[in-house]
Amino acid sequence: MAQMYFYYSAMNAGKSTTLLQSSFNYQERGMNPVIFTAAIDDRAGVGYVSSRIGLEAQAELYAPGDDLYVRVCEMNQSEKVDCILVDECQFLSKAQVYQLTEVVDKLRVPVLCYGLRTDFRGELFEGSQALLALADKLVELKTICHCGRKANMVIRTDAEGNAIADGDQVVIGGNERYVSVCRKHYKEALGL
């Protein structure tokens, strides 16, 4: 049976690397994996997923209003799709996560989603909330805090490295603007 997977973590746990490795494994077996990434993230140039260790692959972009079940049905008609991989899946809408469950349940195509669980305020993203509710398998990709504990929180920092507690949920950055820390150091950084 095809299943929906949610691979979640804090920042810099190697999500994109893991996604690209999975895609490669499908291709190696002569199969046709399709990668989606959020149109919001153009760090690697539009339509690419890249990892910090230098791997890169082309990706389909998804925008907030797209019906992903319809998109996958159309692709599947021109060439059989064997797997859907979604990068930055925290940016999926609740409706899009449901559409991806239809890909699993009606088309019997596995869907592997990779993204953040919570934002820098410690709150669930819309896509992550829906995935926690609907995915068949939840898999945590671990990264560590500077103290050695598991990092399950993300702090956003300003240019001077000071943690900031409010602002828009969505700002695409790199290592310089987000830091993964344990819950204890998250509280300390925000003076909680």
Instruction: Give the active site residues.
Output: 88
The reply to whether 154 sits near Zn ion by the rule CB under 5 A is no
The reply to whether 133 sits near Zn ion by the rule CB under 5 A is no
Distance in angstroms (rounded) separating the CA atoms of residues 74 and 78: 7
Task: Out of 46, 70, 147, 171, name the contact with Zn ion by CB under 5 A.
Answer: 147
Comparing CA positions, the residue from 51, 74, 117, 14 lying closest to residue 84 is 74
Q: Which uninterrupted H or E stretch holds 72?
A: helix 68-78
Task: Out of 86, 145, 179, 189, name the contact with Zn ion by CB under 5 A.
Answer: 145
Residue count, binding to Zn ion (CB under 5 A): 5
Task: Out of 125, 185, 186, 189, name the contact with Zn ion by CB under 5 A.
Answer: 185
Q: Following DSSP, what letter does each residue of 165-187 receive, concatenated?
A: --S-S-----TTTEEEE-HHHHH
The reply to whether 182 sits near Zn ion by the rule CB under 5 A is yes
Residues that bind Zn ion (CB under 5 A): 145, 147, 149, 182, 185
